[in-house]
Every structure is written in C-alpha cells, then in structure tokens.
A and B are shown apart, each in its own frame.
Chain A
Amino acid sequence: MPESASERLSAAGIEHRLHEFLVERTKTEWEPGQDLFASGVVSSLFAMELVVFVEKAFDVVVEREDLAMDNFRTISAMTDLVLRLRKAADA
C-alpha cells in the first residue's frame, strides 16, 4: 500500500486531512470536537460537500444510516466514521 494511503488509515492522518479541508474551505479554524453546524454558519449544503470529500479523500462509501448529520458534526465524528468504514472495507 502506498505511503499516503496507509497514512490515511491512522486517526491522526484522517484528522489532519479533514482539518486542512475545513480550514481551506471555510476560512475558519476548527477544533476536533467543535460542532460545525451548531454555529449556524455551516449550511446543510456544506454537509453534502463533507460527504463527497470524505468519500473521495478516504476511498469509502457513505450510505444508508451513515448519511446522518451527527457523523459530520465534528472532525472527531468524521474521523470515527472513516475509521469504521475503512475497517469494514478491509474486513
């Protein structure tokens, strides 16, 4: 497996990429546990961008019960989701 792909599998690596994307896209700094939607400044449209980003960046498919706001509410929640989906894919 190429180095970039194995890096993606670690929680820290996933968090880093999510943080990078969020800062670039929202022009705002985010803490891992900070609620993206509570502020009201991040729209539901942006939630779909997050779904597409997560799928493309981490080579996973987000579907069915996973299409829930709670999975995209924080950087930590998205990291957990990616780890779970990666584990399921590898199994």
Chain B
Amino acid sequence: MPEDLAGIVTEAVADSAAEWDLAGEIPVDLLRGLGGKGLLCPEVETGFGGLGLTGRECGRLTAHVGSLCSSLRSVMTSQGMGAWTIRRLGDRAQREQYLRRLTDGELVAVAFSEPDAGSDLSAMSTGIGEDGDSLVVDGVKTWITASAYADLVVVFGRYGDGGAAVIVPATAPGVRIDPVPAPLGCRAAGHATVTLDAVRVPRENLLGAAGNSLAMLTTIALTYGRLSVAWGCVGILRACLDAATEHARSREQAGVPIARHQLVARHLADLYVAERTATLVCEDASRCWDAGSPDQVSRAVLAKYVASRAAAQGAARAVQVLASAAAREGGVVARAYRDAKLMEIIEGSTEICQLVLADRAMGVGR
C-alpha cells in the first residue's frame, strides 16, 4: 500500500472517529473528498480515474481505514463493492460512465438484503420489470450500508427468469431512504432501509443481462465485499492490539504494569495471535484474488469467517484488558467491541460461512 494513501486517510479521520460514532454520521463532504481521490474504491483502474491498486494493496489500505474507523471502512466496502459490480457486470459504456463518477466524489451503496431475504438471498422478492425503454423497480431493501449517503444504489433483484442488478439514482422518484436509528455497531456507516416504489430508470441502467443467475451475480459482488470486510476486521484487531498493549504498559496494579500479570498477558498473546492469523488469511485470499484463482471464492469466505470471529473475540479481550478505561462510548475499544460483532453478521453470517466451508471441505457439498 502506498504510504501516502494511508496518510491521507489518517489525516482526514484525525481524532473524529469517536465523534462520528456518537453522532451516527460522517460528514458527507469528507466522504466525497476521499471518494474523489479514488480512495473509497482503490482497485478501479487508472483508465477509469481510479488508483489501480491490486487486491492486496487495497486490502492493506482497507485494514488501515478499519483500524481508524469501521464506519468509514464500511462506506469504503460499499463503494468498492459497487464499483466492482459495475466493473464485472457492466458493459464498456457503463464502466466508463459510472466508474468515473465513483472516483469523482459520487457515493454508491449495494442492496441485497430484504426483510425476508437475509442469509437466504434466493428469497429476494425485489423485482426489475420492463416497460418500454424503462425498467421499473419495486421492493424493500434493509440494512443497506452507506445508503444514507449514497448518490447511487446498485439494487439486486429478480429479472425475468433470473436476476440482475440495476443502478438507481437515490434521487429518482419513488426511492425512499430511511436511516436505521442507532445501530449496534458501525453507527456512522449510513445503514438505511431503501424502499423502491415503482421506480423508473432507463434501460441502460441494467447491470447483467437476461438469463443471468441471481445467485451467481450476488456471489460475484459479495466475494469483493467479504474480502473487504475481512481486511476491515484486521484493522479492528490492530486498533485493539495497540490500545491493549499501550494500556497494559502504562496501567499499574499491585505495583507493576498489568502486562506483568499472567492472566492479562494471556489476553495480549491471544490478541496478537488473532491479528496475525487474520492478516495471514486475508493476505492469502487477496493473493488468490490477484492471481485470478478460482480459490478466491472460498478463500474470501474463509478470510471473512476467520477475521470476523477473531475481531469479535479480540475486541472482547481488549475491553477486558482496558476494563473501565474501555467502558466509554465512542472510545476505540468500545467501538471495536460493537463494530466487530456486526462483522460476524454481515456479508454472510458466521453460520453461513461455516456451511460454505463445510461444502468446500467435502468437495461436492454435504
């Protein structure tokens, strides 16, 4: 990861992460500023105005952002996943138009989940219909990360016998975006319910084509999302490790720094192991992604599974080490504790990941 990119994000976040967490909002101009530098979807090729980072470089930058603020990292995951979806499912003209907009300050959210379609995305009921030169989109999408900030929403839905995605401007008539009040974690990530009531968009906003498989399209998009979330969890662990070691060095009890107490030392060791393990599994998955290996699909699930569990457990350990010093809303470890738990839920819950990994182990499924 080029150092100056990390530095730009560090400078932009400064000491604001706690304030954003408490307010439940990141200033949208700051997001547009980072987006306009290409930092929110860093893998977009330079030919489309992007930074052209490799998957591994993007991952390391994502971890850095995640170490500072998981809400901002969540926005980055959405932007990257939206750009990747357009890159992968779009045609030349769509790539040219939209990837430029996404590296020029516009923000995008990607909408999969619905009230009755979470782990089972095949139960999705949002419909993409046709009417002359228009597409008509109807449905309700829940917990859509970054949609409260988004200019564009990439909406997945049923299209003919299969599935497709469609690019919907957030300002199109019939679109309503209702922020989720006080989410458990990633409080400033702009989670919202997106309601689409007979929303008409031009036919050229369609991503994918007749006959596409909804399951295949969502897997393509989610593989990027899983890698990004996994790297974000590496960041959470780094922030927790830094906070815990710093505290264990400076806080004295019974006449010695608490790091000298063996039960505290065990927490520190486990945190270190968690950070290293998550890093290595993410590096491996991104290597598969960069190499175009078919293993990228299951390794992304593996990385997300390992890193999100490690982050949830690691954040809980960090709280334990910091004790009362962590029990303040907005603080780095308090945020990590809440944010990490959500990472075990989104982009494929821990249990769904386990089923996928069991299938992978069996070769042909169970």
Chain A positions near chain B (C-beta within 8 angstroms): 21, 25-28, 39-53, 55-56, 63-65, 67-70
Does the CB pair B364–A28 fall under 8 Å? yes
Q: Measured between alpha carbons, how far is A74 from B184 in the docked complex, in Å?
A: 45
Q: Measured between alpha carbons, how far is A26 from B294 in the docked complex, in Å?
A: 13
CB neighbours of B216 from chain A (8 A): 44, 47-48, 51, 67-69
B222 to chain A, nearest CB (A): 9
Does the CB pair B91–A64 fall under 8 Å? yes
* Nearest chain A residue, comparing its CB with the CB of B223: A48
CB neighbours of B294 from chain A (8 A): 21, 25, 49-50, 52-53, 56
The count of residues in chain B whose C-beta lies closer than 8 Å to any C-beta of chain A is 31
CB neighbours of B220 from chain A (8 A): 48, 51, 67
A80 to chain B, nearest CB (A): 15
Which residues of chain B from 52 to 109 have any CB-CB distance to chain A below 8 Å in the complex?
88-89, 91
Q: C-beta contact mask, B325-366 vs A, less than 8 Å → 1, else 0?
A: 000000000000000000000000000000010010011111
Give the dominant DSSP class at A's interface: helix
Contacts A25-B363, A41-B365, A68-B213 hold; do A48 and B292 have CB atoms under 8 A apart?
Answer: no
User: Which of A21, A27, A48, A55 is close to B364, meaning CB atoms less than 8 Å apart?
Assistant: A27
Q: Is B119 an interface residue (CB 8 A)?
A: no
Which residues of chain B from 181 to 225 have any CB-CB distance to chain A below 8 Å in the complex?
208-213, 215-217, 219-220, 223
* Nearest chain B residue, comparing its CB with the CB of A57: B294
Q: Is B265 an interface residue (CB 8 A)?
A: no
Does the CB pair A47–B209 fall under 8 Å? no
Q: Is B293 an interface residue (CB 8 A)?
A: yes
Chain B positions near chain A (C-beta within 8 angstroms): 88-89, 91, 162, 208-213, 215-217, 219-220, 223, 292-298, 301, 356, 359, 362-366
B75 to chain A, nearest CB (A): 25
Q: Measured between alpha carbons, how far is A59 from B88 in the docked complex, in Å?
A: 16
Does the CB pair A64–B292 fall under 8 Å? no
A27, A40, A41 — which one has the most chain B CB atoms within 10 A of its CB?
A41
CB neighbours of A69 from chain B (8 A): 162, 213, 215-216
Does the CB pair B213–A45 fall under 8 Å? no
Q: Can you list 29 pairs linking A and B with CB atoms under 8 Å apart?
A: A21-B294, A25-B294, A25-B363, A27-B364, A28-B364, A41-B365, A44-B215, A44-B216, A44-B219, A45-B359, A47-B215, A48-B219, A49-B295, A51-B220, A53-B294, A63-B88, A64-B89, A64-B91, A65-B210, A65-B211, A65-B212, A67-B89, A67-B208, A67-B212, A67-B213, A67-B220, A68-B162, A68-B211, A70-B211
